[in-house]
Amino acid sequence: MRVSKRASSAVALGAAFALVASGCSSSDGEGGDAGASADGAITIEGTQPENGLVPSNTTETGGGKIIDWMWTGLVEYPNDGSAPRNALAESIETTDSTVYTVKIKKDTKFHDGTTVKAKNFVDAWNWGAYSPNGAQNGSFFADIKGFSDVNTEDPDGAEGPKKAPEPAKKEMSGLEVVDDWTFKVTLAAPTAVFPTKLGYSTFMPLPDAFFTQGAEAFGKKPIGNGPVKFVSWEDDVQLKLTRFDDYSLRDKMKIKDVTVKIYQDDTAAYNDLVSGNLDFQQQVPVSSLAGDKWKADLGDKAIQTTIPSTGIIAFPIYDKRFTNAKLRRAISLSINRQEISDKIFFGARKPADSWANPLTPGAKPGNCTACQFNVEEAKKLLAEAGGFQGELVMYYNADASHKEWMEAVAQQVKTNLNINARAEGMPTFAVFRQNINAHKMKGMYRAGWQQDYPDVENWVNPLYVTGGSSNDGLYSNPKVDALAKEASSAPNLEAAHAKFAEAVALIDQDVPTIPVYFSGQQSGHSEKIKKIELTNVGELDLTSVEL
């Protein structure tokens, strides 16, 4: 998700996803009177992206939303939560879940006018997988045959003196360009969920210009192939996007210009929304939830949705203070999640009781025993772990509504375990994530997860497998790795989900993170907007907007 960050059916998503909602208008399914808004403009809330906008190097929601808008992948996840469907792919075929033949639609364009061809996918995936390039999402290509030839691990971590060995090759043997519109993907083992993954942003194509400019330059002026194209980016102020008029697929823009205004405080954004100076805010601040104030302020412009996202607090397991699993479990058991839900979120978010959000295909509800509230057991485990010495700081990004619930959690830990715990804000999400990715966190930290693609695999492999793209605390359990590998290569989804459940049972004993709440989302829009839809992970679907 991306780290909520972002973030998305295996075969079918189930009724729960139908709650992920949509908008506010009487327009018909064909877009209604789109002509009236064809040259309109909107301003929406955003956050400063952590890195340049390169799909395989973006693992958080600030940049992830922009990439989702600027690119179109092989597969898309419908807003109503129904099964994935082809987007840029003409067809994705396999007879054995190992070799996939992908045909793309002909003559679609990148924003620089060049044609999207099969090689643009193959080249992009090889670049993302090649470990010297440092793409944060590189592990998502691990299913592909030859990944281990292009991706090597640093033997003693980023801070150690040893360096990762040079990969044996620069290209994966499992990728083959057949012709301009066709490529083959051979996996290391059968993987039934593979086509579902292909709507996630790391699998997007890259134009030839990416390879001539280099990732850093490209990331500041990205060239996608989606319904909107890049105009400008002023750090910590705004990004500007505009309609790509040569876009030829289904989801064309109905309006012309979009400004993503970067806020340092979500209350300021909300005040702009209420006063009509902002056209969309994805999550209103916690302070507006009390007594349903946000509904009174926004009226029929308020949108309540349910999304597959979980609020989490993570441990920096690379810090020797947090290596004891009994300590981690003690802290988790000392948290009264129901009280957080009732008193901080006014019932708008539900207490987490499972490791993967239950809206996700393959997820098992109630499998987080570490999510129970049991102070006596927590005290017992803390004593067995030898206690905790010194101050326990819990960090969060201060540019969104995390202060209230993080302070409440810290107070519960302090009261129930007599640990000197407190919460501390870091100024922006970008700075916060930079410290997390550099493994420089000096205490526990907020680490919500919004799924990238709709399968329980996305809640295990990136977060809890050794070397996973968002395993930021450097948790490692070889038994979890082995079970996840078996699950990923299972011949069908039922078998895969059963193996992931075994892996989760081990994760539950280790408690590498602390699930706290399941997200509900409260969004709002301005009177200017006639129609709006949200994606199945709660992001604004720009192509749905009519004025």
At 369, is the secondary structure helix, strand, or coil? helix
pLDDT of residue 60: 87
Q: What share of the chain is helix, strand, coil (3-state, %, to 5)?
A: 35, 20, 45
Of 327, 433, 439, 342, which Cα lies nearest the Cα of 387? 327
pLDDT of residue 491: 81
For residue 23, what are its two tokens? 């908008």
pLDDT of residue 16: 27
Q: Return the CATH fold of 307-520.
A: Dipeptide-binding Protein; domain 3 (3.10.105)
In whole angstroms, give the CA distance from residue 518 to residue 451.
12
What is the block-wise mean pLDDT of the chain (547 residues), using blocks of 10 residues? 36 26 35 52 94 93 94 94 91 95 98 98 98 94 96 68 82 98 96 92 97 97 98 97 95 96 93 97 93 96 93 97 98 98 94 95 95 98 97 94 95 98 93 92 94 92 93 97 92 92 98 96 96 93 96
In whole angstroms, give the CA distance from residue 199 to residue 74.
6
In whole angstroms, give the CA distance from residue 416 to residue 133.
46
Provide the whole-model pTM. Answer: 0.83
Under a CB-based contact definition with an 8 Å cutoff, are residues 278 and 319 in contact? no
Parse the chain into domains and list their residue ranges: 307-520
DSSP string, 441-502: -SSEEE--EE-SSSSTHHHHHHHHSTT-TT-TT----HHHHHHHHHHHT-SSHHHHHHHHHH
Phi first, then psi: what are they for 173, rounded to 5°? -70, -20
For residue 538, what are its two tokens? 């709660």
In whole angstroms, give the CA distance from residue 310 to residue 214.
35
Instruction: Look up tokens 């399941």; give the residue.
Output: 518
Other beta carbons within 10 angstroms of residue 466's beta carbon come to 15
pLDDT of residue 17: 25
pLDDT of residue 251: 86
pLDDT of residue 38: 63
For residue 520, what are its two tokens? 């509900």
pLDDT of residue 194: 93
| Length of the chain as a residue count | 547
For residue 237, what are its two tokens? 């102020």
pLDDT of residue 295: 96
Under a CB-based contact definition with an 8 Å cutoff, are residues 324 and 382 in contact? no
pLDDT of residue 507: 98
Under a CB-based contact definition with an 8 Å cutoff, are residues 345 and 286 in contact? yes
Of 508, 344, 511, which Cα lies nearest the Cα of 423? 344
pLDDT of residue 156: 57
